[in-house]
Amino acid sequence: MTASAPEFLPFVRPEIDAATIAEVGKVLASGWITSGPKMQAFEAALSELFGGRPVRTFANGSATMEIALRIADIGPGDEVITTPITWVATANVVLTVGARPVFVDIDPRTRNIDLDAVEAAITPRTRAIMPVYLSGLPVDMDRLYAIAARHKLRVIEDAAQAIDSRWRGQRIGAFGDLVSFSFQANKNITSVEGGCLVMNTPEEALRAERLRLQGVIRTGLDGMDVEEPGGKFNLTDVNAVIGLSQLGKLDAITARRAELAETYFRCAADAGLAELGIELPLPLDPQVATTNWHMFQVVLPTDRLQGGAPDARRLVMEAMCERGIGTGVHYPSVHLFTYYRSLGWREGMLPHAERIGRGIVTLPLFPAMQASDVERVCATLSETCKRLSK
Ligand SMILES: *Cc1c(COP(=O)(O)O)cnc(C)c1O
């Protein structure tokens, strides 16, 4: 190591400041450490963010989606249409409630679910659509809700990555049906682990409260009943106070991420990434869909690298890692996992998802990064792909 060697740049790094750490200490010393006043304060702040809609928090984003499915009364015999380019939780929770996930292909430009394919996959058993806003980019929300209305379907938005993303200027979550967010450590704002669900009515919120704590209904000081069994999915006050503090920085975080994304587009052009066959994210019309830049992802020209070797992406990621740059994969196509194959899914069924699932790479993006980091990432990626395409 020379003195000038740059520090390893991870693809993401959560930032918890000293004031937040002090708040955590206060909660721990307060005598009330699990769900309590801080959880309620976090829920109130989130509700304000989403235009006053009812919001409840949960232990994680996966539990949040599971509760959303239960609130929508989705269960055995039902089909839920979703995208295969997602964190596997999206499909797993559909199986958990006993329903069947139906994957449809993605639009290769947005890398999100293709809404034409959604319409074509609707059957009499379809009960809900679960879109995912990959890297924070919303789908065409007007079209999504028009399809749902026409076919009388629920929409459970997996907005895990989309806090502060917008559609026609309105925040994701401030409108729509059931909208699920995650505050896992890698998300734009974090409570270490956690999630929240934006709902439509006080009745849904009451049901969510019960389902997150075994279904228990308390009356007076001693009354207890269960009408519908639930799980153990509550968010602790320790997590909530971290989430609250992060929420206060949301505007600054979103703005900084947008700046870094712009820098990426500029440096990608300087480094000639498109000329090498590397696909960049969609440049957006801010009048319509605004992403929160949860990730900056490229799709590698895997057919051209190392003679189309099946491990072309791994070679690129290893070479970047050797040069001090961390990258990630979000995500391989879920339908090709062993379990999902056992349900009948195969190669060739969802060609866009399969190609993008093989070639997609997440580049480093977090607020503390500098423009020089972005420049180094793009230059290193360019050199690596040039070397491997020889
Ligand atoms: C993070 C994430 C989830 C799940 O959130 P957890 O809090 O990790 O359970 C679900 N879907 C997507 C698309 C995610 O990115």
Q: Is the pLDDT of residue 1 over 70?
A: no
User: What pLDDT digit, counting tens, does each position of 14-45 carry?
Assistant: 999 999 999 999 999 999 999 999 999 999 99
Place of tokens 């990432």: 377
Q: Quote the ligand 1 centre to 273 CA distance (angstroms).
A: 29
Nearest to 208 by CA among 34, 68, 90, 96: 68
Nearest to 129 by CA among 163, 170, 179: 179
Q: Which two tokens stand for residue 273?
A: 């990434």
If you ran DSSP here, which 8-state letter would residue 29 be given?
H
Q: Which two tokens stand for residue 342?
A: 């056992």
CA gap 192, 182 in Å, rounded: 10
Q: Quote the ligand 1 centre to 205 CA distance (angstroms).
A: 21
CA gap 206, 209 in Å, rounded: 5
Please pick, among 38, 152, 187, 232, the residue that the annotation labels catalytic. 187
**b/e burial code for range 251-266 (CB count within 10 A of at least 16 → b):** eebbebbeebbebbbe
Query: Of the residues 96, 106, 112, 161, which should be mutated to test ligand 1's pocket, given the most ligand atoms within 8 Å of the CB?
Result: 161
Specify the pLDDT at position 309: 84
Place of tokens 């682990």: 193
Q: Quote the ligand 1 centre to 265 CA distance (angstroms).
A: 26
pTM of the entire structure?
Answer: 0.97
Q: Quote the ligand 1 centre to 180 CA distance (angstroms).
A: 9
Amino acid at 10: P
Task: Show Cβ contacts of residue 139 under 8 Å, excluding neighbours closer than 6 positions.
Answer: 110, 112, 113, 115, 131, 133
Query: What torsion do the CA atoms of 117, 123, 127, 131 make, to the nearest 10 degrees?
Result: -10
Task: Show Cβ contacts of residue 194 under 8 Å, excluding neighbours closer than 6 positions.
Answer: 57, 58, 59, 60, 61, 182, 183, 184, 235, 239, 240, 243
User: What pLDDT digit, counting tens, does each position of 69-118 carry?
Assistant: 999 999 999 999 999 999 999 999 999 999 999 999 999 999 999 999 99
Place of tokens 């890398």: 111
CA gap 230, 365 in Å, rounded: 37
Q: Which two tokens stand for residue 338?
A: 């062993």
Place of tokens 């696909």: 279
Q: Which two tokens stand for residue 180?
A: 């699920």
Once rounded to an integer, what is the mean pLDDT over residues 52-72? 98
Specify the pLDDT at position 307: 86
Task: Let me know if 26 is a catalytic residue.
Answer: no
Are the C-beta atoms of 272 and 382 separated by less than 8 Å? yes
The rounded radius of gyration (Å) of the Cα atoms in the chain is: 22
Question: How confident is residue 6, by pLDDT bands cut at 50, 70 and 90?
Answer: confident
Question: How confident is residue 387, by pLDDT bands cut at 50, 70 and 90?
Answer: very high
Residue 161 Cβ inside 6 Å of ligand 1? The answer reads: yes
Q: Is the pLDDT of residue 4 over 80?
A: no
Are the C-beta atoms of 296 and 261 separated by less than 8 Å? yes
CA gap 334, 353 in Å, rounded: 9
Q: Is the pLDDT of residue 224 over 90?
A: yes
Least confident of 3-12, 135-144, 248-257, 372-381: 3-12
Q: Is the pLDDT of residue 264 over 80?
A: yes
**Domain edges within the chain:** 18-247, 250-388
Once rounded to an integer, what is the mean pLDDT over residues 3-19? 89
State the DSSP string of 339-388: HHHHTT--TTSSHHHHHHHHHEEEEP--TT--HHHHHHHHHHHHHHHHHH
Burial zone of 12 (CB within 10 Å; 0-12 exposed, 13-18 middle, 19+ buried): middle
CATH number of 250-388: 3.90.1150.10
The mean of the pLDDT values for the chain is: 96
Question: How confident is residue 2, by pLDDT bands cut at 50, 70 and 90?
Answer: low
Task: Show Cβ contacts of residue 115 under 8 Å, excluding neighbours closer than 6 positions.
Answer: 139, 140, 143, 144, 147
Nearest to 196 by CA among 234, 229, 149: 234
Closest atom of ligand 1 to CA, residue 62: 9
18-247 fold: Aspartate Aminotransferase; domain 2 (3.40.640)
Strand partners, 82: 103, 130
